[in-house]
Amino acid sequence: MANTTKIEDKAERKQLKRTARKKAAPKAPRTGPRGENKQKLKKASRGTSKR
């Protein structure tokens, strides 16, 4: 992504970001399901907080 911190005009900054997104190589498809590395929670009994 292009560094657009120096550009003050919002519309111009948005246009630069959009063109940079279009030029960027497409992302590879996911190898595993989303959130597979998230910490899993055990089922808690009713009325107790999970975290």
**Comparing C-alpha atoms, which of 31, 27, 1, 23 is closest to residue 13?**
1
Look at the pTM and tell me if it is higher than 0.85: no
**Comparing C-alpha atoms, which of 32, 29, 49 is closest to residue 41?**
49
Q: Is it the case that residue 11 has pLDDT exceeding 80?
A: yes
Q: How much is the pLDDT for 3?
A: 80
What is the mean pLDDT of the segment spanning 7-13?
A: 91
Give the whole-angstrom CA distance, residue 31 versus residue 34. 9
* Whether the Cβ atoms of residue 2 and residue 18 lie closer than 8 Å to each other: no
